[in-house]
Structure 1
Amino acid sequence: MTAPKPDGTDRPRIRISAEASQAIDSWAWGLADGTLRLWQLPDAINSLWNVAFEHGRASRDEEVHQLRVERDRYWLRSFPDAERQEYLLSRLDQAAALANRPDVDDVLDEAWRLYCAGLNNIREPIRLTVTQDCREVA
């Protein structure tokens, strides 16, 4: 058995009725223009929306991170040379003071534990949330 193609071109297209298509399309535009709220829609549409939103957001995480790094670099470069040097030396002094604490190993161990716990949280499945009318949606 061969593995499915990553782009999904080997999968059949899903078809729905014209009425269902029109309803979903009108709901999408209702959400866009504010005449509908997500909680008003059927649970299955809520699930689709939430999964699509999370995938879309996650697909941009690396770019957002890179843009923040670039923003911070430009922010630091906006300082005159003497102020930039003073700022960087101050940050190094703060880091050195933290590293010079007698409990530095405990602090670093706790930071590592929290970091590792955070990695586990990233991989948690999407949990059900309760909507305004107390329905659970993914």
Structure 2
Amino acid sequence: RYYSSSEFSDLAVHTLDQDFKVHRVVVCGQSEYFSRLFQGTWLEAKESEIHLKEDDPRAIEAMFQFMYGFEYDSSGSDQGRTSPMLLNVKVYQVAEKYQVRQLKDRAREKFKSIVEACWQMDDFPVAIEEAYKRTTKEDRGLR
């Protein structure tokens, strides 16, 4: 109910092309990163606002969808500009960065399922390259 509503929201999150009004209890309850950030003496905590300009906006949107409903739309985005395979790589990376363990597990599951079904598609090499580029050697989740 509250994902698509700004009612009672107390945090503002800005990406390159989207703004999200979210709820501290939902976001900080699932992300160690946000929990530490908004409990500290950082400027973001004082202003209850953060700018995530370096992250893919669709991946951030998926992260918030997941935080509110434990699922996210991975059918691609922007009329097909981002493939589902590539989107899940980006969601996995965002989940790692912001320490959302359950989202990372879900993105890995979705990526694996899509790769098994669609490995012959044109975007497969791009997605694999992104998976290797965006994860550490120690993180074997998408490798």
Larger radius of gyration: 1
**Structure with the higher fraction of residues in strand conformation:** 2
> Relative contact order: is structure 1 or structure 2 higher (C-alpha 8 Å, sep ≥ 6)?
1
Q: TM-score of the superposition, structure 1-length normalised?
A: 0.23
**Structure with the higher fraction of residues in helix conformation:** 1
